[in-house]
Structure 1
Amino acid sequence: MNDEHPVHDATPADTAAAEAAAVPETDARRRTATVRGIELGRARPEIIVPLVGSETEELLAQADAAVSTPARILEWRLDRFRSDLEDIGEHREAVLAALPALRARLGPDRALLVTFRTAAEGGARAIADRDLGILLESLIAVRRAGTQSPVDLVDIETSRAPATVARVISAAHRHGTVVVGSFHDMETTPSEAELVEILRAQRRLGADVPKIAVTPRGPRDVLTLLSASLTAAEDLSGPHIAISMGPLGASSRVAAETFASAATFATVGEGSAPGQLRAQDVAGMLELLRP
């Protein structure tokens, strides 16, 4: 993706207006978010594979394995990388040092999503809001003259401090980076009304791809998540991701297209969340279950 705004409108005039805004306004005509020619929100859901290696060599080996699958978006889990570095500044420098090699392994046709999942939402380590903002903004700003940005999408937990969320979203849009605004409930599944409002609130904050991932306590919780996804899709305001985690929620990962989720997460080797299935298996099931 170049410096153009990642959300595509229905007409050239609308596109120009969107590019002029640092943070997009909700617009019912927006249907997709595009990175490296990949349209989130159009037709078949994208498969996103997490890369959870702690060391650079392990990270790159996972990337090599992931690019041999149908997945077109790879998620670098920054909270799982160099967990031996307790100092946040040293960790940030290690992340920035590893980025060029990782980007080179992905090639030009696969998109890179960077995510620091905090301990509060199921991640591997805690981080102060200020430090989280500095890390993500540093990655967003990386660019070499005449080249495409190595970071195509950035995840920001929308429950973090409002000022941090706003800064990361603003920086992402200035650099043409798609924003995944995320919410994770590792204990329960909120009501359908709550889930729909979370997705809508994330969109209002400027997230191009709102995301919810929740934990079911029974089959009806999975139905709640799927119904919320359909309700949010009726807004026609753009793509979103809705996942029910754990073994009970596995059906939500393979029926994503039917229930209007723009992407699903799958593994190549070690996963990053409960209930993730193998990327090759998910690709086959997505095809078999196409509505």
Structure 2
Amino acid sequence: MSYETKIAIPILQKNKEDILKIAEDYIKKGADLLELRIDSIANSNPKMVKSIIEEINFPTIATNRSPLEGGYFKGNEKDRIAILQNCVDIAEFIDIELQTELKYITPIIDSGVKTIISFHDFEKTPPIDDLMQIIEEEKNIGDIAKIAVMPKDLEDTIIVLAILSRYENTIAISMGEIGSYTRVMASKFNSPITFATGGDVTAPGQIDIETMKLMLNMNIIDHDELVNTI
């Protein structure tokens, strides 16, 4: 592997049997990380989720996405965080939203698990100054900062690249078809993680892992040259 950026593939299955089956498939396809979307699991609870991650036995991002940021978890906030807290000793990373109340974030941070503090905007790409403030807040809390925003034009995607050029240990994604290339270019800025799909592309902008691995291994443009253009 000639790139350092790890490829994570989200798993959004509803039951344990399907999760374990698809996890095995994604590992065989070359995923570096699996993102277990806990919010997609039917009737999830702390014990069940922990057992799933244990059986997967592969570096996993535990994510229990809030409905306010595009997730599907139907329980209350206390229950949502309780599931994540129960994963701190077995997950590679815990993804928790920046907007989560500090009283819920603190116990996860204090556990010592590596964290991804995330922010999503499915309607627009905020101005770069606003995004920089968000990144700064995320970095003050956890290990890796993450933003995923929706572009309205190509210029919006350049804002995302500018964020990547200014911050280390940062995941910055421009969503949709226009922004799909930012998932690949992330490696040119030494972003720690990018996201691909394990099979069928289900939304604009997604890239399957085979294509992602191929593109990440292509020296399309020199990193220093790219940074100097932004």
Select the structure with the greater relative contact order (CA < 8 A; seq sep ≥ 6): 1
Q: What's 1:213 paired with?
A: 148
After superposition, the Cα gap between the structure-2 partners of 1:271 and 1:101, relative to the gap in structure 1 and judged at 3 Å, is farther
User: Matched residues in 2 for 1:270 and 1:284: separation?
Assistant: 17
The one-letter amino acid of 1:240's match is: T
Q: Do the aligned partners of residues 155 and 192 (structure 1) sit closer, same or farther apart at CA in structure 2, a change above 3 Å counting?
A: same
Q: Does 1:99 align with 2:34?
A: no
Query: Is 1:226 the counterpart of 2:180 in the alignment?
Result: no
Task: Give the structure-1-normalised TM-score.
Answer: 0.70
**Structure 1 residues 268 and 130, CA gap change in structure 2 (3 angstroms):** same
Instruction: Report the Cα distance in structure 2 between the residues aligned to 1:131 and 1:270, rounded to whole angstroms.
Output: 32
- C-alpha offsets along residues 87-135 of structure 1, whole Å, 9 cap, x if unaligned? xxx63343234333222xx3xxxx1111011111111234433222211
CA distance in structure 2 between the partners assigned to 1:258 and 1:100 by the alignment: 33
One-letter identity of the residue aligned with 1:112 = T
Matched, 1:139 2:107: no
The residue number in structure 2 matching 1:152 is: 92
Query: What amino acid maps onto 2:140 in structure 1?
Result: R
Mark the CA change 1:202 to 1:161 in structure 2 (over 3 Å): closer, same or farther: same
- 1:271/1:163 CA distance change after superposition, 3 Å: farther
Local SS of the residue matching 2:108: helix
Residue 72 of structure 2 aligns to a residue in which SS? Answer: coil
Q: Is the 8 A contact 2:197 2:208 kept in 1?
A: yes
Percent of matched pairs sharing the same residue: 28
Name stretches of at least 5 consecutive residues in structure 1 with no aligned partner: 1-41, 142-149, 234-238
Distance in 2 between residues matched to 1:258 and 1:164, nearest whole Å: 34
Q: CA deviation at 1:44?
A: 2.5
Q: Deviations over 1:148-182 (max 9, x none)?
A: xx3111111111112112222112x1xxx211111
Confirm or deny that 1:59 pairs with 2:13. no
Q: Which runs of 4+ in 1 moved over 6 A?
A: none
8 Å contact from structure 1 (residues 52, 272) kept in 2: no
Q: CA deviation at 1:63?
A: 0.7
Aligned to 2:70: 122
1:264 matches 2:199: no
Number of equivalenced pairs: 220
CA deviations over 1:247-289 (Å, ceiling 9, x no partner): 1110101111224422110011256875221011001001113
